[in-house]
Amino acid sequence: MLLKLGRLGFIDAFLRIIKSGYTNLKSVVRVASSTPGLFDVVRGVRQGGVVTTFHLVYVNDLLNDLEASKNGAKLMTVKTGNPTFADDIALLALSPSTCRKW
């Protein structure tokens, strides 16, 4: 993600601030009332953080490739090739035979 932000022209000071928010990041999963312990977070975008929209920077190349592929379904005049919401992407097609293998 930091490399992609750098390629987009973000300055080094900003990148250092973002990197510091991901350095030595730990998380915990609560099951009922039990919390078994912390674990290291080694990849992904922080959930609920101020910079949660950075996942779009991370997946932007994929979204551009999907758009350029012209794959997907069309509903009336609306092309629905790769609708996204938050960090979810749906891939749509009218039938299995219209899907191309990646």
Q: Do residues 71 and 99 lie in contact, with contact meaning Cβ atoms separated by under 8 Å?
A: yes
- The confidence score (pLDDT) of residue 87 equals 67
| pTM recorded for the entire structure | 0.48
Condensed to tens digits (0 to 9), the pLDDT of residues 25-63 reads 888 888 888 878 888 888 766 666 555 567 777 778 888
pLDDT band (50, 70, 90) for residue 12:
very high
